[in-house]
Amino acid sequence: MVRREGWAAVVASVLGCSTAASSSGTDDSLAIASTTASAPGGSDDPGVPTTSGDSTAAGTTTALTGEASTDTTGVGPSGCGADVAPGPTIVKTTGGALAGEQLAEVVAFRGVRYAEPPVGALRFRPPEPRMCVAGPTPASELGPRCPQIEKDGQGQVVAMLGDEDCLTLNVWTPAPGDGQRPVLVFIHGGGNATGGSDDPLYDGAALATAQDVVVVTLNYRLGALGFLAADALAAESREQVSGNYGLLDQVLALRWVQDNIAGFGGDPQRVLLFGESAGAVNTCSLIGSPRAAGLFQRAIVQSGSCNERAPAKYAADIAGPWLAASGCAEVPDAAACLRGLAIADILSLQPDGYPDVAALGQGWGPHVDGVVIPKPALEAMSEGTHNAVPLVFGANADETAKGVPPLTVAQYEGLVHATFGPLAAMVLAQYPAGDYGDDGQAAYVALTSDLKFICGARRAARAADAGQDAPVFRYHFAYDGYDALPNATKAAFHGLELIYVFAAWGAVLPEPAMYEPNADDLAISQRLQAAWARFAATGDPGGADLTWPPYVAADDNGALLDEPPGLFNGVRAQQCDFWDMFAPG
């Protein structure tokens, strides 16, 4: 075992990362949805879809007022929607009646408030459940993103997006009523600093229609607003903890699903929680969190490792420097100072934690606070003290392909030496440029994809397999059959699988361009949608169209998600054995 000190400790700190800057970045939704390059079939850079329009969505929900209620049946008291008759687009909830919108084959309920606005005295505090209001409340417009910045390709801030009053969710259902459909709840990525459920990539209509399931997407607080840990904030807490507010938002949204989803035709006992990139990091944290016990019955961790930092490490990485920059660290009432900061100032403070899928530093994300996250999820899974449900872990073959620039062999080797110091010779022995056609870019993509994603999926699958009887599954997504320009290099890059899970063809190219999926695109989309829906329904993703046996650590086996699909026994095993020498524990 190599001693984890100096440069080795740096490696250990990023193993399983993807909690923010290290993990998501052009990241999840943003590796797919907020770059300006075009993608499968695009102009000059294949495979990077882009969203169109304003990222704060067309409609911004305004604050609602009304009579509070403690009713949890979904049928509130008078003045809370009790006198509203349910209908094809009307559903009663714990927050009052909602009026959705009939689409071609599903009913959509957008911008549904699941919490009170986290503003004023509720800033930097756990979320409060939505108070019941008179209805029916219109639910046809997506809510705004939570506050975030947008940068250009040179790292310059070009916009500040969103609204602090942002805790909304969206539901797509084939039909409201007493159905017992599986429920798929998705947590978006973006390094826990960017992204939102308004992204066209996450539109749930096609998935709900194709698989007869209920799809839920949600917003949660990002950046410092969602994950700042500070002594002054902990002092206000009954449990003497702070931070993880964005994670607690997700817990509250899952409670809303448990209380209300039956009215939308969903089965609260067949809830699949799945997230990608930073959303996957959060999903893994919820697997390990007692706060989420009983709120989901299966989970998929897509391209995001299980790695919550200890308080001291988290403070050193981002919380401490950010507090110092805020000017609030040394004032008598630091909590009041923080709540008095303007949103523009909060977003502008450095470090801002803006994500970069190929970077090795860490920004905002969950940390071990002893309460919401009692211990790292990997440790909890290994010990069997986690929420033991059927689990899937996986990563894409070329995760960082869109985040690594062209590199000569000399540039690649220089970058490795600058990054890994005295460990560089060992790293280069595992990733010699000659194994990648003397292409420095390809070598560094393999290195960073393994270090940050692929080996983390193996590590998590092994931990879960050791600590639970419920089945564990692993996948490796290697599909790159989309259409691109003749000389473009295609890759299974970070977030690509989301296009196929959501069949989000309209999110691939900027309007008015429209990507036309080819036969393989359609085939793998149907295969992935069916597997995710089966897993939600039964806890087993395999079927007649996809052989997918449970994971066995000794075999390191899983499903190769490609077209056609296959099986594997070990992915990058030698390299993952190498990185595991530096892993915590």
CA R_g for the chain? 22
Out of 164, 379, 399, 413, the active site residue is 399
For 530: left if phi > 0, alpha if psi spans -120 to 50, otherwise beta; the answer is alpha
Q: Would the pTM of this model clear 0.85, i.e. be above it?
A: yes
State the DSSP H helix or E strand holding residue 227, giving kind and residue range, or none if neither: helix 223-227
Q: How far is CA 446 from CA 248, 381, 443, 570, 580, in A?
A: 34, 27, 5, 15, 16
Which of 419-426's residues contact partners 24+ apart within 8 Å by CB, and which partners? 419/360, 420/7, 420/10, 420/11, 421/6, 421/7, 422/6, 422/7, 423/7, 423/8, 423/11, 426/578
The question of whether 38 is a catalytic residue gets the answer: no
Query: Among residues 309, 325, 324, which one has the least CA distance to residue 364?
Result: 309
Catalytic residue among 494, 497, 525, 563: 494
Residue 277: active-site member:
yes
Catalytic residue status for 399: yes
* Confidence at residue 585, expressed as pLDDT on a 0 to 100 scale: 57
Instruction: Tell me the domains of the chain and their CATH numbers.
Output: 7-506+521-580 (3.40.50.1820)
pLDDT at 15: 52
Pairing of strands 177-187, 214-218: parallel
Q: Which of 277, 305, 326, 525 is catalytic?
A: 277
Q: Is residue 193 within 8 Å of 349, Cβ to Cβ? A: no
Q: Which two tokens stand for residue 572?
A: 């990058």
User: Tens place of pLDDT for every residue, the chain, 585 residues?
Assistant: 333 344 444 455 545 333 333 333 333 332 323 332 333 333 333 233 333 333 333 333 323 222 333 343 444 445 677 788 889 999 999 999 999 999 999 999 999 999 999 999 999 999 999 999 987 999 999 999 999 999 998 889 999 999 999 999 999 999 999 889 999 999 999 999 999 999 999 999 999 999 999 999 999 999 999 999 999 999 999 999 999 999 999 999 999 999 999 999 999 999 999 999 999 999 999 999 999 999 999 999 999 989 899 999 999 999 999 999 999 999 999 999 999 999 999 999 999 999 999 888 789 999 999 999 999 999 999 999 999 999 999 999 999 999 999 999 999 999 999 999 999 999 999 999 999 999 999 999 999 999 999 999 999 999 999 999 999 999 999 999 999 888 889 999 999 999 999 999 998 888 888 999 999 999 999 999 999 999 999 999 999 999 999 999 999 999 999 999 999 999 999 999 999 999 865
Taking the C-alpha atoms of residue 410 and residue 527, their distance in angstroms, rounded to an integer, is 42
312, exposed or middle or buried, with CB in 10 Å at 0-12, 13-18, 19+? Answer: exposed
Taking the CA atoms of residue 551, residue 553, residue 554 and residue 559 in that order, the dihedral angle to the nearest 10 degrees is 30
